Structure 1
């Protein structure tokens, strides 16, 4: 009986200090994926805010332009400023402008300027070796801005 107690005591003394090592490894194994997940979610959220603000700014800039040609340029510039505010590259975002009811005349009384922006958000630190390019999320925003029924035709 004494030998069993002695063996248990010796085994317990041999394991002293391993709890700290086990907790450290467990924390690393759980925290690293959690931190990666948070970084990825925040990156997608940042892109979503940027694209949404850029669509709103582009629609307003287009509707306030003096003519169609400068409207497109102003919309792109306004979108670029809003995207840079969120740390996004304006060159990676697709901008499309459409008008209703007459697609050829966006600045006519009663027309509505619709802007659509789309952007692919790559997951951080994700290798392209996973197949078919780097994993990414598509973020899109639509914004409509009425030109106004009681405005002068340009």
Structure 2
């Protein structure tokens, strides 16, 4: 039975150049989803920080206001500023102001006010086809609590 002999040089010639091709293909296949994940998580984190900042600052603005009109004006100004700063979509933001206690007047002097801000984050690179842009949204929400000034007066 004859024996086959392979020289190591012949085997090396067959493999020449395939490592670079495998590295490029493997790198692209792994790199694209990782980059997309990083961009998507960064967008979600940015909106989460914006919503958290909005709830905290609106609660503080309401609690330090002198009355209902002043509280509404301050809350609107703070919310507009945060929407611009964090590049939030103003159409998706929902703000809920409620009181923790069982008082008839909310907010009232000495009450504890809770501000909840919710928004939805669009995922990047989702085309506006067949309603995909609405289905590919992540909801973020934050609540903040502040004690209302005892010098609060309605009006």
Distance 1:153 1:119, change over 3 A: closer
* 8 Å Cα contact 1:94/1:117 also seen in 2: yes
Residue aligning to 2:103 = 102
Distance 1:88 1:132, change over 3 A: closer
TM-score normalized by the length of structure 2: 0.82
For structure 2, the residue ranges without an aligned partner over 5 or more in a row are none
Cα displacement (A) at 1:3: 6.7
How far apart in 2 are the matches of 1:15 and 1:90? 57
Residue 34 of structure 2 aligns to a residue in which SS?
helix
How far apart in 2 are the matches of 1:97 and 1:29? 47
Cα displacement (A) at 1:103: 4.8
How far apart in 1 are the matches of 2:76 and 2:104? 19
Q: Which structure 2 residues correspond to residues 60-71 of structure 1 after superposition, within 5 A?
A: 60-71=60-71
Residue aligning to 1:93 = 93
* 8 Å Cα contact 2:96/2:117 also seen in 1: yes
Q: Greater helix percent: which structure?
A: 1
Residue aligning to 1:74 = 74
Residue 142 of structure 1 aligns to a residue in which SS?
strand
How far apart in 1 are the matches of 2:23 and 2:131? 32
* 8 Å Cα contact 1:57/1:82 also seen in 2: no
* 8 Å Cα contact 1:123/1:134 also seen in 2: no
Q: Which structure 2 residues correspond to residues 2-151 of structure 1 after superposition, within 5 A?
A: 4-5=5-6, 9-10=9-10, 12-99=12-99, 100-106=101-107, 108-127=108-127, 128-129=129-130, 133-148=134-149, 151=150
For structure 1, which segment, 130-139 or 40-49, has the greater mean C-alpha deviation from structure 2 after superposition?
130-139
Q: What is the RMSD computed on CA atoms of the aligned residues?
A: 2.5
TM-score normalized by the length of structure 1: 0.82
* Larger RCO of the pair (alpha carbons < 8 Å, separation 6+): 2
Cα displacement (A) at 1:138: 0.7
How far apart in 1 are the matches of 2:27 and 2:13? 24
Cα displacement (A) at 1:83: 3.0
* 8 Å Cα contact 1:92/1:119 also seen in 2: yes
* 8 Å Cα contact 2:63/2:146 also seen in 1: yes
